[in-house]
Amino acid sequence: ATIVLEEPRENFSDVDLCWIGSWEEVCGEAQRAPRATAAVGDSLFSEVEMRGGAQTAKRFDFLIGTNFSEQAEAITRQCVRYLADEKCTRLGAIFPGSGALSRLVASSLARLEIPHNDGLGHIVPGIFQSAEWQAWIELQRAPRLTSFLRFLNALPDPRQVFGNILHESYKEVLLDDLELLREFCGARGDDKSQTAAEALRALAFLPPRATLAQFLQQTHAALAHLGWKQQALELASVAHDWSQRLDAKFPRALFLRWLAEMAVAADAARSAAGDHPYAPPPGAEFARTEEIHAFNRSVQRLNKRAARQGSQGEGHTSVRENHSLYLGPGEQRAIALRQFDALIESASEGVTVAASLVQEDAPERFWNPSECLTELYLKTHAESLTQTTLKNLQRATALLPKPPLVATDIQQTLIAFNVRRDSSKPAGEYDFALRRNESYRPVPTLSVTDLRGMVSSPAIVWMKRYLGVEAPEDAANPWAATTGKWVHHWLTNIIEPRNGKIFSAFPTLTRIDERIRFAADERCADLRRLCDLTGKVVPDWWKSGWLNARYLARHLGAKIGAAQGWNWLATELAVGRDGAVKIADGVELELHGQIDLVLAQNDAPNFAAQSIWIVDYKTGSTKELKTSDLHDSLVKGTTLQLGLYTLAIRELGAAEVSASIISLVAKNVAPQLSVIDLAPHTGVFADLVEMQRTGVFGMKGEIRPAFGYSAPYPLATLPIDNDILEDKWALTHPALVLEKEEWETW
């Protein structure tokens, strides 16, 4: 047998001599081969030499970019130039490793539909890095509502109904415990709640403490229930016989940590154009299928043959079974440089080297050329590579021919950008509005909360009603919303059943307090029953929040009971169920809402000729209504809800209608605002009707104010200067402009 080794070269003689010496110990002294006078090929002379010309040297090009994007574009253009050359029989793009540059080049080649073999690909999450697996691990680590909903949404067929039902159930009990929520949903009679309870019952949880064998058994059962066969097979291969070696019990958190560290299965992906293992330059033929299989089989045989003795990759050679030569960082770098030098020598026609002018993570800092790049440039151009030369190369690289870009989308984006910032024009189709010249105008039914939001955050309401998108609720502190819901529900029960009538008799103050306490105590008793079923205890912090809501309800009930001259009342009176609500002549709104409390002096089947008092409960520190600055309070939305209810009841035939806010700080428990006070401000409601009819809302307010709270936008939205927004708002909705500046009301 003849063994051919590469001759040591230049600075790499030490490691190369060590490599040759290891062969000489086994096979004897090596003999230097005579140098070839010409490149080895199929013929003694090249085509150029046979035509009488001189053999041309390979061409070296240097491409310098300021970032990865410029480098990738330059490399792609150079590849296209090489492929257009008829001499090109093999073309390779070599990268130091997988990363952004290799990914950008592969994407550019795929965009140009050039078949190639993407040997690096891009890393994609494996089965154990998928969203559903990570969500399942988090659910087992912390079985809470948030982790369960994240797990549901990560599944291929998410069940949104479960999320809505469980969110509503959580708001009722305010305990983030899946067992309690399961029992609460199971106790309700509707089908959706029963389905949610069944889903929670079917969910398998790992025990708090167990042996490894028990944990693995429970995990395999859970994976089988979810239909995750591939994860189960991978987990079985990872576990091996560990369960027989470890029989001690340990916590679930430790097992999940082990599972997260051991179950790793990253994968590489390629585009369709980059998934050609034997992609030749254009004009050549692909290898046949049987040739590909034969080549793969031969590679496998060579790898198996070298398992005991032979090459195990670069720098790792088995001299005996399970024994290898140790190569330090210096030797590894020397081998890498030798490989790079040999790679350059293997090119027959041309070599292109690409580098970056500046550091990618610090664009203000220039790279100094590496030793390898400097030597290569000096060898090929007979001059040193300085920063000035690098900048000249970068400018020359930028001049490489590029195909014309299609700027249609960019132009449209620029149009939208300029129109949104043109303060001389009202809101249009780029400002959360429907096109004004379109005949189709959907008229959505708005809640009173939506109408209040139309004057404070119109863009959010527009996206919710016309696009069907809204930001998720902020569940960080649900106690404020749930306290208000409890208080309103308990105050609803202060009257006797109406039996089809509008009004009920006004109860005594003692009776009001008894009914509030009974409804509040029933809420606490229901939770105690749920805790008893699951073997849990009602937390003290829950009792504290419940007592606070109970006190608020009793305090507001006492204020209602002190009202004089009103003998009849109605609670939770629905508005807008029977069609459009008339506000004034020619002003009708499609809305729905509920009035907290309606008081009347006489019992009647309708509101005709009645004196009506509308009351809105507020569990916060909302102050009572004032007739001063009424226009601005309507435009800000603070009085808009009661104003709508007042005008709606007036249009139902009531002779006199007044409204009030009752809260902890409101001292005047009497009518605070009358329908007569609202008469000069009908234009505000008419503009709301126009917004609903045309779908032209617009944008108002800062997206992320420095001070104060603003509802989050569900879609990414660029901020616009507030002065521009105010000018466009005034042109679009002149009746909804503040009469006084904010600083004037301080």
Selection from 45-59, 160-174, 501-515 with the highest mean pLDDT: 501-515
The whole-angstrom separation of Cα 65 and Cα 395 is 9
Nearest to 617 by CA among 598, 601, 630, 600: 598
Least confident of 196-205, 232-241, 315-324, 408-417: 315-324
Written as one string, the DSSP assignment of 268-317 is EE--STTB-TTPPPTTSPPPPHHHHHHHHHHHHHHHHHTTTSEE-STT-E
**Element spanning 611, H or E:** strand 611-617
Least confident of 373-377, 544-548, 728-732: 373-377
Predicted local confidence at residue 10, as pLDDT: 62
Asked whether residue 406 carries a pLDDT value surpassing 50, the answer given is: no
Question: Identity (one letter) of the amino acid at 303?
Answer: N
Percentage with pLDDT > 90 across the chain: 23
Residue 495 Cα distances to 46, 484, 490, angstroms: 106, 19, 10
Within 10 A of 535 (CB to CB), how many other CB atoms are there?
7
Please, which pLDDT band fits residue 344 given cuts at 50, 70 and 90?
A: confident
Q: DSSP secondary-structure letter at 11?
A: G
Selection from 244-253, 285-294, 391-400, 510-519 with the highest mean pLDDT: 510-519
The whole-angstrom separation of Cα 310 and Cα 303 is 9
SS3 493: coil
pLDDT digits (tens, 9 = 90+) for 684-711: 999 999 999 889 999 998 888 877 778 8
Selection from 9-18, 118-127, 512-521, 686-695 with the highest mean pLDDT: 512-521
Asked whether residue 286 carries a pLDDT value surpassing 60, the answer given is: no
Average pLDDT over residues 627-644: 89
Q: Is 243 exposed, middle or buried, given 0-12, 13-18 or 19+ CB atoms closer than 10 A?
A: middle
The whole-angstrom separation of Cα 682 and Cα 582 is 12
Q: In terms of DSSP bridges, do strands 350-356 and 59-65 run parallel, antiparallel, or are they unpaired?
A: parallel
**Hey, where are the domains in the chain?**
1-56, 144-204, 495-507+534-547+562-745
pLDDT digits (tens, 9 = 90+) for 500-528: 788 999 999 999 999 999 999 999 999 99
Looking at per-residue pLDDT, the higher value among 431 and 443 belongs to 431
Average pLDDT over residues 429-439: 84
Least confident of 119-133, 495-509, 530-544, 645-659: 119-133
End-to-end CA distance of the chain: 98
Please, which pLDDT band fits residue 159 given cuts at 50, 70 and 90?
A: low
Predicted local confidence at residue 55, as pLDDT: 53
Asked whether residue 108 carries a pLDDT value surpassing 80, the answer given is: yes
Written as one string, the DSSP assignment of 50-73 is HTTPPPPPPEEEEEEESSHHHHHH
Average pLDDT, the chain: 83
Predicted local confidence at residue 337, as pLDDT: 82
Nearest to 710 by CA among 460, 483, 439, 492: 460
Asked whether residue 241 carries a pLDDT value surpassing 70, the answer given is: yes
Selection from 110-114, 156-160, 170-174, 551-555 with the highest mean pLDDT: 551-555
Predicted local confidence at residue 314, as pLDDT: 46
pLDDT digits (tens, 9 = 90+) for 245-279: 778 889 999 999 988 887 776 677 778 787 777 66
Looking at per-residue pLDDT, the higher value among 498 and 203 belongs to 203
Predicted local confidence at residue 440, as pLDDT: 67
Q: Are 39 and 371 in contact (CB under 8 A)?
A: no
